A and B are shown apart, each in its own frame.
Chain A
Amino acid sequence: EAQVTQNPRYLITVTGKKLTVTCSQNMNHEYMSWYRQDPGLGLRQIYYSMNVEVTDKGDVPEGYKVSRKEKRNFPLILESPSPNQTSLYFCASSLGDEQYFGPGTRLTVT
C-alpha cells in the first residue's frame, strides 16, 4: 500500500531534550516536506527536499533541522525543543502536484 508513515505518532518531551521524528514513504517520490499545524494558522511549511541531499527552508524553519540521505526517508530533528514547538506535525511526499500526507505526529514540549 502506497503510504507515508511517521513515528512516533504522539510524543511528550521536556524542553531541551533532542528528538527526531521519522518520516518514510514507499512511493519513490523525489519531493518531501514537513509542515506544522497550529489552531487558526493552518499548515505552515518547515523544510522541504527536492531530492537526496537537497533540502531547503520553508516558512518556519527556526529550531528545526532535516536531512535527506535516502530517497524514502526525511527525518525532522529538534535539537533543543521548546514549548512553542508544541504542535501537530505532518510529513508529505509528492511526485508532481498532489501531496500525500502522513498521519501526523502530535508533539508536546513541557
Chain B
Amino acid sequence: SQQGEEDPQALSIQEGENATMNCSYKTSINNLQWYRQNSGRGLVHLILIRSNEREKHSGRLRVTLDTSKKSSSLLITASRAADTASYFCATDLNDYKLSFGAGTTVTVRA
C-alpha cells in the first residue's frame, strides 16, 4: 500500500523561483528519501533524511522532516529548466521496502 502522498500533484513555476513540495506519510519510518524522474526515465536518488534528522541540504535542495506530523518537504531553490521533472518521496519502513507516493510534477518555465 502507498505510504506517502505528495502535494501538490503539479506545480508550475518561473525559472529562478523556488519550488516547494510536501510529502505526508502514515506510519513510523526509518528514513525518507526523495527521487527525481525525468519524463519516462528511471528514478534518480536526490537526498535521504533519517528519522532523527530535521533538516538536510544538498546543493540547491533542502529537505525537512517533521516526524510528529509525519510530513516532509522538498525545496528546490533558484529553479532551472533542467529541474522540470516528477519528484517522488519514498519512505523506508526498515523492512527492506521503499514505499513511493504518486509524485509531484514540476514544470519550470523559461
Contacts and interface: CB of A to CB of B under 8 A. Distances in A.
Q: Do A and B bind each other?
A: yes
A48 B97 contact: yes
A44 B97 CA distance: 10
Given A41-B102, A45-B98, A97-B48, A103 B92 contact: no
B103 A42 contact: yes
Nearest to A35: B100
B43 A50 contact: no
A106 B39 CA distance: 13
Contacts, number: 54
Q: What does DSSP make chain A's interface, helix, strand, loop or mixed?
A: strand
Contacts of B43: 43, 90, 92, 99, 101
A61 interface: no
Contacts of A31: 96
B interface SS class = strand
Nearest to B30: A97
Interface string A20-62: 0000000000010101000011111100101000000011000
A61 B96 CA distance: 16
Contacts of A100: 45
A90 B2 contact: no
Interface residues of B, number: 22
B42 A97 contact: no
Contacts of A75: none
A87 to B, nearest CB: 13
A42 B100 contact: yes
The interface centre, meaning the residue of B33, B92, B102 with most chain A CB atoms within 10 A of its CB, is B102
B96 A41 contact: no
A68 to B, nearest CB: 14
Which of B33, B88, B98, B100: most chain A CB closer than 10 A? B98
Contacts of A104: 40-42
Contact of A40 (B44, B98, B102): B102
Interface of A: 4, 31, 33, 35, 40-45, 48, 50, 58-59, 88, 90, 92, 97-104, 106
Closest 4 pairs (CB-CB, A-B) = A101-B42, A42-B102, A43-B100, A42-B100
